A and B are shown apart, each in its own frame.
Chain A
Amino acid sequence: MNKMEKALNELGHMDELAVQESPVHAMNAGAKLLCTVIYILVVMSFNKYDLSGLIPMLLWPVFMYQMSGIPVRTCFYKLRIVLPLVMAVGLFNPIFDREIMLHIGNIGVSGGVISMLTLMLKGVLCLMASFLLVATTPFDNICAALRRVHFPAMLVTLLLLTYRYVGVMTEELAVMTDAYHLRAPGQKGIHVSAWGSFLGQLLLRSMDRAQELYSSMLLRGYHQHFHYAPIKPFKFSDAVFLILSIAFFAIVKYVNVSELMGMFLVR
Chain B
Amino acid sequence: MHMADALLAPAVAATMYVASGAAAGVSISKLRKDDEPAKLPTMAVAAAVVFAGQMINYTIPGTGSSGHMCGGMMLSALLGPYAGFLSMIVVLAIQCLFFADGGLMALGANCWNMAFYGCFVGYFLIWKPIIQSKWFGADKSALRKRIIVSSILGCVITLQLGAFSVVLETSLSGITELPFGAFLGLMQPIHLAIGLIEGLITAAVLCFVFDSRPELLRDVDEVGVSGLTAKRSLKGTIGILAIVALVVGGGLSLFASGNPDGLEWALFGNTDGGYSSNMGLDEENFGVSSQAAEKAESIQEKTSILPDYAFPDSESAAGTTVSGIVGSAMVAGVALLICLAGGFFRKKKKQS
A→B interface (CB under 8 Å): 3-4, 7, 10-11, 14, 36-37, 40-41, 43-45, 48-49, 51-52, 55-56, 58-59, 62-63, 65-67, 69, 78-79, 81-82, 85-86, 89-90, 92-93, 95-97, 99-104, 108, 111-112, 115, 119-120, 122-123, 126-127, 129-131, 133-134, 139, 142, 152, 154-155, 157-159, 161-166, 168-170, 172-173, 177, 187-193, 195-204, 206-207, 209-211, 213-214, 217, 224, 256-263, 265-267
Q: Is the CB of A265 within 8 A of B99?
A: no
1/0 per residue, CB under 8 A from A, across B328-352: the answer is 1111101100110111001000000
- A69 to chain B: which residues have CB within 8 Å? 342, 346
Q: Is the CB of A40 within 8 A of B57?
A: no
Q: With contacts defined as CB atoms under 8 Å apart, how many contacts are there between chain A and chain B in the complex?
A: 356
Shortest beta-carbon distance from B105 to chain A in Å: 5
How far is A122 from B105 in the complex, measured between Cα atoms in Å?
A: 12
Selected from A65, A95, A204, the residue in CB contact (under 8 A) with B212 is A204
Top 3 closest pairs, chain A to chain B, by CB? A66-B342, A262-B327, A262-B323
Stretch with Cβ within 8 A of A (4 or more), from B90-98, B128-136, B276-284, B287-295: B90-98
Shortest beta-carbon distance from A147 to chain B in Å: 14
Q: Is the CB of A192 within 8 A of B241?
A: yes
Provided the pairs A99-B301, A162-B51, A170-B55 are in contact, do residues A58 and B331 lie with their beta carbons within 8 angstroms?
yes
Complex A-B: 14 CB contacts under 8 Å: A4-B52, A59-B335, A82-B101, A89-B175, A126-B6, A130-B5, A158-B90, A159-B94, A165-B45, A177-B56, A210-B46, A258-B324, A262-B322, A262-B325
- B119 to chain A: which residues have CB within 8 Å? none
- B94 to chain A: which residues have CB within 8 Å? 159, 162-163, 166
Selected from A99, A126, A158, the residue in CB contact (under 8 A) with B44 is A158
How far is A132 from B63 in the complex, measured between Cα atoms in Å?
A: 40
Stretch with Cβ within 8 A of A (4 or more), from B35-43, B153-161, B220-228, B250-258: B35-43
Q: Is the CB of B310 within 8 A of A102?
A: yes
Shortest beta-carbon distance from A260 to chain B in Å: 7
Q: Is the CB of B104 within 8 A of A214?
A: no
- A3 to chain B: which residues have CB within 8 Å? 55, 57
Q: How many residues in B have their beta carbons less than 8 Å from beta carbons of A?
A: 114
Provided the pairs A10-B98, A127-B103, A162-B90 are in contact, do residues A256 and B324 lie with their beta carbons within 8 angstroms?
yes
A52, A131, A155, A192 — most chain B CB neighbours (10 Å)? A192
Shortest beta-carbon distance from A88 to chain B in Å: 9
Shortest beta-carbon distance from A156 to chain B in Å: 10
**Does B64 reach chain A (CB closer than 8 Å)?**
yes
Provided the pairs A104-B325, A154-B40 are in contact, do residues A96 and B178 lie with their beta carbons within 8 angstroms?
yes
Q: Is the CB of A85 within 8 A of B7?
A: yes
Selected from A45, A130, A197, the residue in CB contact (under 8 A) with B97 is A130
